[in-house]
Chain A
């Protein structure tokens, strides 16, 4: 009779699918160069406004550096919110969801591929933002410990995109309402994360705001990267950040899986998965 797939075969299929989904993402968003230019150019304008403002009120040049890093990290948040979270939603609208559901791959690996594609893509843009920002605004950086910066950066992305994976399932189930919520979330998160502030965990920022901001892994990562790249602090001072980011991932990943399974079984039960706009 029908042989069951061995765990090795299973893993291979899922890795191939994840890779292919990542490839689609990269291929799709880098076909048009105008998109790339806009996605680097527009944030630079926002960043520029803050840098000039901070200079005008006499803050040290490090404040400008903080804003550049913040602006680069915001690119990831936008990507998670608009591309990752709405992934299933759009796949359903375009008739792709059925294709994914009928194939022998885990939906998690499709999401994983999407996350990998999204983070690589956004990294290119973020790097563009940072380089252009340094070039235009001449802000100082102190890269005492590049390896730690890399580590914190990767951990931040992992936590952030895991959050995106969780959002993807929620979005799909709640369709329009989730869409509106995301719309509502965008600006407050810009604010809460402190991306455009010189520092979020500073005594002048109210504690409630700090706490709310910390719910987003990006805030934690952002603060750690700023300490490492601007203040020249070492890994010793960002241990709590690293642990918090790992904890975020460990909590969010199973939640994302649960949400996805729940979404799938609910869809199969109620027949909602392949219906559009409800």
Chain B
């Protein structure tokens, strides 16, 4: 069954004026993206990769330099006002609203930016307050809310017009573990109501893995890979992900990284035990013998090793972490 396209970009490019004399910053470069109805799509990428820029273009806040971006088949440049009725954007870390107004008053205000009739707005707000567990703070001024509750209010704003497409730019920034989980459930439930699309960015790999139907990995304005988390794991890592525990840590990490066949490498130190865990993505298993001798040359002892299930983080590291550019 062919699903309807919700978001589409064609050779999208966006430049920013850089520091004088240094040339332009390429924030997005030839981005072709397709996101479908009923899909939660995640954008992963390092700081400055272009995620927010892409979202801003799709939300009609920024013009593309070249190429095209379409929302439900409508061009974001020419049909902005039509598009704005069916989208909403929540940026983590932003706290739109008026500090002097209560949570309830702010929500009512947000609803009026979409022209919701009084009773209709009231019902919707009651529902959102319930879903985001804001009941106890209804009459609290926004300026007195904690960061996390401000973020919840911001999220409630995102849902206030029941958009067809919701853009979430690092929505769980500043939320505690339980609240973040709660939000993920909320987004999943909301998508199930049908005819919805979510495009989100996050720096939490586990979050993307759990939440997203598909993810795109973006670095330096280019989409490096785009697929379901499961397929990315097998496709990119080839399934060969290794976990090696060593002590002490490698004195020359670079020498290990440069071994031919090592696609990705990340290290985690356990300060208490002095044990370092290396996570490696290898092109093939035969690389292992070179690797072990390099570790020995470094004067480190192997405590434990084994194959591990690849995670989205492994995919990310192998695409972004070892200089794929």
Contact = CB atoms under 8 A, between A and B. Distances in A.
Binding partners A and B: yes
A102 B82 contact: no
B120 to A, nearest CB: 12
Interface stretch (B57-65, B233-241, B266-274, B290-298): B57-65
A94 B112 contact: no
Interface string B48-82: 00000100100111110000000011100000011
Interface residues of B, number: 39
Given A1-B72, A27-B105, A98 B89 contact: yes
Contacts of B73: 1-2
A103 interface: yes
Interface in A257-278: 268-271, 273-274
Nearest to B97: A96
B202 interface: no
Nearest to B73: A1
A103 B94 contact: no
A9 B115 contact: yes
Most buried by A among B53, B56, B97, B115: B115
A154 B28 CA distance: 50
Contact of A13 (B96, B100, B115): B115
B307 to A, nearest CB: 45
Contacts of A101: 60-61
B98 A24 contact: yes
B279 to A, nearest CB: 37
Given A16-B115, A104-B114, A271 B62 contact: yes
A99 interface: yes
Interface in A147-176: none
B17 interface: yes
Interface residues of A, number: 35
A142 B145 CA distance: 52
Nearest to B118: A16
Contacts of B63: 268-269
- Of A98, A102, A269, A274, which is in contact with the most chain B CB atoms at under 10 Å from its CB? A102
Contacts of B109: 20-21, 23-24
B86 interface: yes
Interface in B90-105: 91, 94-101, 105
Interface string A1-39: 110110001001110110111011001100100000000
B108 interface: yes
A2 B82 contact: yes
A240 interface: no
A188 interface: no
A24 B116 CA distance: 17
B113 interface: yes
B152 interface: no
Interface in A224-271: 268-271
Given A13-B114, A104-B85, A96 B96 contact: yes
B74 A31 contact: no
A95 interface: yes
Given A14-B115, A98-B94, 10 more contacts: A5-B82, A12-B115, A13-B114, A13-B115, A17-B115, A24-B98, A96-B98, A98-B61, A102-B84, A104-B85
Interface of B: 16-17, 53, 56, 59-63, 72-74, 81-82, 84-89, 91, 94-101, 105, 108-110, 112-116, 157
12 contacts: A2-B73, A9-B115, A13-B115, A16-B112, A19-B112, A21-B109, A27-B100, A96-B96, A96-B97, A99-B97, A102-B59, A104-B115
